Structure 1
Amino acid sequence: MQTGENEQALRKIIDFTRLLSIAILIIHFYLSCYPAFQILGLTKPVVNHILLPLSKMEVFAKVLYVKLAALILLMISLVGSKGKKDESIKASRIFIYCTVGSITYFISTLFLTIHCPATTIAILYVGVTIIGYMLILSGVSLLFRMLKINLGKDIFNRENESFPQEERLLENEYSINLPAVYNLKGKSRNSWINIINPFRGTLIGGSPGSGKSYFVIRHFITQHIQKGFTMLVYDFKYDDLSKIVYNALLRYAHLFPVKPNQYIINLEKIMHRANPLEPHTMIDITDAIDSSRTIMLGLNREWIKKQGDFFVESPINFITAIMWFLKKYENGRYCTLPHVIELAQVDYEDLFEVLLQEPEIEVLINPFVSAWQNEAYEQLEGQIASAKISLARLSSPQLYYVLSGNDFSLDINNPDEPKVVCLANNPQKSQVYGAVLSLYINRINKLVNRKNQQKCSMIFDEFPTIYFNGIDSLIATARSNKVAVTLAVQDYSQLKKDYGREQAEVILNIVGNIIVGQVTGDTAKQLSERFGKINQEKESISINSQDTSISKSTQLDYAVPASKIASLSSGEFVGMVADDPDNKIPLKTFHNEIQNDHDAIRKEESSYLPIPLIRNIDPAEILINYQQIKDDIKAIIATVLAKTRIG
């Protein structure tokens, strides 16, 4: 116990031990330099009577024994001594004192062998030995008072914030495995990012240049194709990902039970054609409502946050009515988006008369008919004009040609006819193209999320540039249908801007796997909280005029602080993976650097084959198709009106 009595007793023992060391040294001086003491008249019979018998002790038999005994007692006394700690004491100073002192202390024995007057020998021997003794005393005292502070050693707290990560390679028939290197207490160790359950959804984040595509997405594509996944890839900057898909398919297509075909929807450079409004895939009117909502919100992104408003829902209902009319008319022969666009441009009088011939959409079209009949033209324009203006942006011969064809069906995970589909966008025209591609995604989503289909991977690069109605529902329900959804975003704020706060929060919180590079602000804070806290060592020092106090403790702190996420290098990622009952992962959180074999990737890319030209289209053919769609609508109007008026 730290009581005053105990401290005083310890002090007395220390002082006595040091006094004993000095006493042994003094006795040794008296015995070894006795002739000099006689000459100087410093000998006394009483002292001789006491000390001369001591000379027969083993410790005084040799000079070396005496000096070692005195030195050992000195060390013992210093070990138990207390002194004020001082961080200014340098190790070099202690080393010099101890080294010089030890040499001087032991080499002074040579003076006892020289031929000089006894007094001279005694003065030299005693003086040099005392100097050495004092230097040793000073050096060792400084050693026990030296304060070794490590508080500034790890300035950025990297070692303290490191934690064990998964070092096992865990594979299954669905997994994506990324090799990585991480730091644990200053040591570099190999690890793996094991996404063994991609069906729980994966979010890939990171600012531009953080390495999302190069370090992560390319491996999702190649590994999933290698494992027999059908695939939908949204390629925002065509053909960055499409080229990887094409060459991976050339390499691994033989591993599929049924060899898949690759299809590319490119609205700028026409490759394949597909009708996102295939009539046989639209089972009931709710499918038309979803498609209408997708295309309208894709064209007017600000409407996403205003869903439910009168002037947002009215255009959606209007387009839904047109879609369902075309689906029902002649068994959906004209059910394409270009026909919807052209039909929406028809004069109200003829259009309403035509649409009213379909009983299922009467409830949708009645508010517009009522406004027209009551001559509420301003209200009618407000309800419909926004739809017509938005759709007019899609009135392009090339878009019409792609959207009205039927090269393949959109059930990409059909086991009998598996497909790998790439949707190509252009960043310079992303607002218009993104709306059309959103419609393709919406329709594919409806078809892939079914029972007894082939496993499917849906990868969306720059996800906020499209509008995916029901993405949260897909992630939540598609797990049992073996649909893996991967979303790549730059930042949570970007997701909030394009999808609204509520939808963005749902997406962020519903995904099971997260891989994030450098991000800042709210994104970094939310992720830091999600990754949780670890036990970290804390050290503090208090120095006052009498004593120095050092305290060490542990406390829970963030494993990956927001500031660290904001300063990640390219290729460095943090995140968390999800497991399943058959493959438990105790260490889910990671902070590491993904290891790409750069030379191998460069070699592989240099051998990539370019995506072949699918079709060589005559511009005249595109214009003929464009005009044909317009003529189809005129014919529909004329036919329906004729039947109505005759009836």
Structure 2
Amino acid sequence: MQTGENEQALRRVIDFTRLLSLGILLLHFYLCCYPAFRQLGLSKPIVNHILLPLTRLALFQNTWLAKLTVLILLLVSLAGSKGKKDEHIRTRTIVSYTLSGLFLYFVSGLILTFNSSGLALAALYITITSVGYILILSGISLLFRRLKLALNQDIFNKENESFPQEERLLENEYSINLPAIYNLKGKVRSSWINIINPFRGTLIGGSPGSGKSYFIIRHIISQHIQKGFTMLVYDFKYDDLTKIVYNNLLKYAHHYRVEPVQYIINLEQVMHRANPLEPHTMLDITDAIDSSRTIMLGLNREWIKKQGDFFVESPINFITAIMWFLKKYEDGRYCTLPHVIELAQVDYKELFGVLLQEPEIEVLINPFVSAWQNEAYEQLEGQVASAKISLARLSSPHLYYVLSGNDFSLDINNPDEPKIVCLANNPQKSQVYGAVLSLYINRINKLVNRKNQQKCSMIFDEFPTIYFNGIDNLIATARSNKVAVTLAVQDYSQLKKDYGRDQAEVIMNIVGNVICGQVTGDTAKQLSERFGRINQQKESVTINSTDTSVSKSTQLDHAIPASTIASLSSGEFVGLVADDPAERISLKVFHNEIQNDHAAIQQEEMAYQAIPPVREIDQDMILENYQQIKQDIKNIVNFVFLNS
């Protein structure tokens, strides 16, 4: 126990041991250099009577043994001594003092081998030995006072923030498994990112260049095709993902019970054609409302934050009425988005006369008719013009051609007709194309989220560039229907800008699996809080005028701080995976570097086959279809007025 009495007793023992060491050294000097002391008149009979008998002791009969005994006692006394710790004492100083002292201390014994008893040799021997003794004393004292701190060795606290991660490969018929390495207390270990339940939603985040597509999305595509998933892929930068899908399907198509067919919706270079407003899939007017809301909010992204406003809901109701009229007219023969666009451009008198023929939309169209009949033209223009202007941006022969065809149905996870659909966008025209592709996604969402269908994977690269109405509902309810949703975003702020704060928070919080590369700001802070805290060692040093103390403690701190997430390298990801009741994962949080076989991927890409053209078309066919749609609307208006 460190009481005052014990410390005083220890100090006395140390002092006595050091004094004994010094006494033996002085006695050694007297006995070895006795002729010199006698010559100087420093020897006394009484002293000789006491000390000279000691020469018969074995300790003093051997010079080296006496000096070694002195050195051992000195070391013992220094080992128990206390002094003010100093972090500025250098190892070089300690080593130089100690080695120099040992050299002088022991080499001085050679002087005694000379056959001379002169004062000069005795003085030289005592001086050199004493200097060596003092140097040893100084060097060893510095050694025990040296404060060795490891505080600055890990300046970014990486080792302290490391934690155990999942090293098992956990596979099942739905899983996504990514090999990785991680750091645990300075040691590199192998690990796996096991997304064993992708149906709980997967969010992939990371700034441009962080490796979302190269390290993650390409593996999700290939692994899900190997496991027999039907698939919807939103390819923002066509044909980066579509080419991966096409070549993996060529390789693994035999894994399916019924071999799937790949369809590509490309609004620029016509591939396949499909009608997102298939009349037989619109079961009631709520489907028309969803489609109308999707296309209008997709064309006017600022409206997303203003839903419920009069001048937002009015255009949506207006387009809904047109859609439902075309769905009911001649069993939906003309129920396509191009026909909706053209019918919206008809003069009010003819338009309202046509729409009033359908009783089910009378409630929707009544406010517009009343404004027209009461000659409230400014109000009417405010209600309708924004819809007409927005839709006019879609009046393109190429768009009309793709949207009015019927190469395939949108029930992509039909077990009897499985499909893999790729939606191609162009970053330079993403605002217009994104709205149309959003409509496809909305309709596919309605059809895939049903029971007894084939497992389906929906992958959205650069998700904020489209408007997906009801994405939160899909993630929340589609798990039981085996629909896996993967969303790739660059940052939470991007999602918040395009979807609004409330919707962005729901999307961020509802997904079960999160994989994120380098992000900053609020995104990094939210993720850091989500990953939780771990016990970390903390060290502190207190230096005052009399003593230096080092204290160590443990405290809970962020497992992955926001600053760490903001400085991740390409290919380095942090995240959290969700487990399954049948397959538990205790180590859900990870911070690792995904391992890609770059040479194998490069070789695989070099062997990729180009996507073949689907059909041979010319500009005349596209223009003919464009004119035919316009003529269809004229025929509908003329027929209604002739029979009214």
C-alpha distance after superposition, 1:247-286 (max 9, x if no partner):
1111111111111110000000000000111111111111
Q: CA RMSD in A?
A: 1.6
Q: Structure 2: where are the runs of 5+ without partners?
A: none
Aligned match of 1:420:
420
List aligned pairs for 1:577-588, cutoff 5 A: 577-588=577-588
Distance 1:103 1:581 in 2: 72
Aligned match of 2:595:
595
C-alpha distance after superposition, 1:328-368 (max 9, x if no partner):
11111111111111111122222222222222212111111
Pairing 1:193–2:193 present: yes
Aligned match of 1:103:
103
Range moving further from structure 2, 43-52 or 420-429 = 43-52
**CA 1:66–1:493 in 2, change beyond 3 Å: closer, same or farther?**
same
List aligned pairs for 1:610-621, cutoff 5 A: 610-621=610-621
Pairing 1:23–2:7 present: no
Aligned match of 2:239:
239
Aligned match of 1:444:
444
Contact 1:33 1:118 in 2 (8 A): no
List aligned pairs for 1:465-504, cutoff 5 A: 465-504=465-504
SS at match of 2:643: helix
C-alpha distance after superposition, 1:214-263 (max 9, x if no partner):
11111111111111111100001111111111111111111111111100
What amino acid is aligned across from residue 24 of structure 2 in structure 1?
Answer: I
Range moving further from structure 2, 304-313 or 173-182 = 173-182
Aligned match of 2:529:
529
Pairing 1:228–2:228 present: yes
Distance 1:314 1:346 in 2: 18
SS at match of 2:181: strand
Pairing 1:276–2:276 present: yes
Contact 2:35 2:117 in 1 (8 A): no
List aligned pairs for 1:622-641, cutoff 5 A: 622-641=622-641
Distance 2:285 2:341 in 1: 18
What amino acid is aligned across from residue 241 of structure 1 in structure 2?
Answer: L
SS at match of 1:252: helix
Identity of aligned residues (%): 80
Aligned match of 2:338:
338
Distance 2:448 2:18 in 1: 87
List aligned pairs for 1:47-126, cutoff 5 A: 47-117=47-117, 119-126=119-126
List aligned pairs for 1:217-366, cutoff 5 A: 217-366=217-366
What amino acid is aligned across from residue 398 of structure 1 in structure 2?
Answer: H
C-alpha distance after superposition, 1:174-199 (max 9, x if no partner):
11111222222222222221111111
What amino acid is aligned across from residue 303 of structure 2 in structure 1?
Answer: W
Distance 2:27 2:453 in 1: 100
Aligned match of 2:516:
516
SS at match of 1:269: coil
Aligned match of 1:373:
373
SS at match of 2:454: coil
SS at match of 2:552: strand
SS at match of 1:174: coil
Contact 1:460 1:486 in 2 (8 A): yes
Using the TM superposition, give the Cα deviation of residue 515 of structure 1 relative to its aligned residue in structure 2, in angstroms.
1.2
Range moving further from structure 2, 541-550 or 248-257 = 541-550
SS at match of 1:422: strand
Distance 1:584 1:124 in 2: 80
Using the TM superposition, give the Cα deviation of residue 52 of structure 1 relative to its aligned residue in structure 2, in angstroms.
4.1
What TM-score do the two structures reach when normalised by structure 2? Answer: 0.97
C-alpha distance after superposition, 1:519-574 (max 9, x if no partner):
11111111111112222222222222222122222222222222222222221211
What amino acid is aligned across from residue 558 of structure 1 in structure 2?
Answer: H
What TM-score do the two structures reach when normalised by structure 1? Answer: 0.97
Using the TM superposition, give the Cα deviation of residue 101 of structure 1 relative to its aligned residue in structure 2, in angstroms.
1.2
SS at match of 1:151: coil
Using the TM superposition, give the Cα deviation of residue 145 of structure 1 relative to its aligned residue in structure 2, in angstroms.
1.1
Using the TM superposition, give the Cα deviation of residue 127 of structure 1 relative to its aligned residue in structure 2, in angstroms.
2.3
Distance 2:347 2:146 in 1: 93
Distance 2:13 2:350 in 1: 114
Using the TM superposition, give the Cα deviation of residue 456 of structure 1 relative to its aligned residue in structure 2, in angstroms.
0.8
SS at match of 1:159: helix
Distance 1:60 1:290 in 2: 107
Distance 2:15 2:603 in 1: 76
SS at match of 2:161: coil
SS at match of 2:273: coil
SS at match of 1:409: coil
Distance 1:610 1:69 in 2: 87
Contact 1:371 1:377 in 2 (8 A): yes
Range moving further from structure 2, 19-28 or 457-466 = 19-28
Distance 1:417 1:229 in 2: 12
Pairing 1:165–2:165 present: yes
Contact 1:277 1:443 in 2 (8 A): yes
Aligned match of 2:434:
434
Q: How many residues get paired? A: 644
C-alpha distance after superposition, 1:130-164 (max 9, x if no partner):
22111110100011111222332222222222222
Range moving further from structure 2, 107-116 or 204-213 = 107-116
Distance 1:643 1:381 in 2: 28
Pairing 1:566–2:546 present: no
What amino acid is aligned across from residue 68 of structure 2 in structure 1?
Answer: L
Aligned match of 1:133:
133
List aligned pairs for 1:139-218, cutoff 5 A: 139-218=139-218
C-alpha distance after superposition, 1:377-415 (max 9, x if no partner):
211111111111111111111111111111111111111
What amino acid is aligned across from residue 171 of structure 2 in structure 1?
Answer: E
Distance 1:549 1:379 in 2: 80
Range moving further from structure 2, 609-618 or 541-550 = 541-550
Distance 1:24 1:196 in 2: 77
What amino acid is aligned across from residue 266 of structure 2 in structure 1?
Answer: N
Range moving further from structure 2, 447-456 or 45-54 = 45-54
C-alpha distance after superposition, 1:305-337 (max 9, x if no partner):
000111111111111111111111111111111
What amino acid is aligned across from residue 570 of structure 1 in structure 2?
Answer: S
SS at match of 1:160: helix
What amino acid is aligned across from residue 447 of structure 1 in structure 2?
Answer: L
Range moving further from structure 2, 438-447 or 559-568 = 559-568
Distance 2:193 2:113 in 1: 75
Using the TM superposition, give the Cα deviation of residue 40 of structure 1 relative to its aligned residue in structure 2, in angstroms.
3.3
Using the TM superposition, give the Cα deviation of residue 120 of structure 1 relative to its aligned residue in structure 2, in angstroms.
4.2
Distance 2:67 2:479 in 1: 81
Pairing 1:40–2:40 present: yes
Range moving further from structure 2, 49-58 or 394-403 = 49-58
Range moving further from structure 2, 104-113 or 294-303 = 104-113
Using the TM superposition, give the Cα deviation of residue 54 of structure 1 relative to its aligned residue in structure 2, in angstroms.
3.8
SS at match of 1:541: strand
Range moving further from structure 2, 100-109 or 36-45 = 36-45
Range moving further from structure 2, 259-268 or 162-171 = 162-171
Distance 2:96 2:24 in 1: 26
Distance 2:63 2:286 in 1: 106
Q: Structure 1: where are the runs of 5+ without partners?
A: none
Distance 1:291 1:59 in 2: 105
Using the TM superposition, give the Cα deviation of residue 493 of structure 1 relative to its aligned residue in structure 2, in angstroms.
0.7
Contact 2:165 2:590 in 1 (8 A): yes
Contact 2:492 2:523 in 1 (8 A): yes
Distance 2:281 2:57 in 1: 110
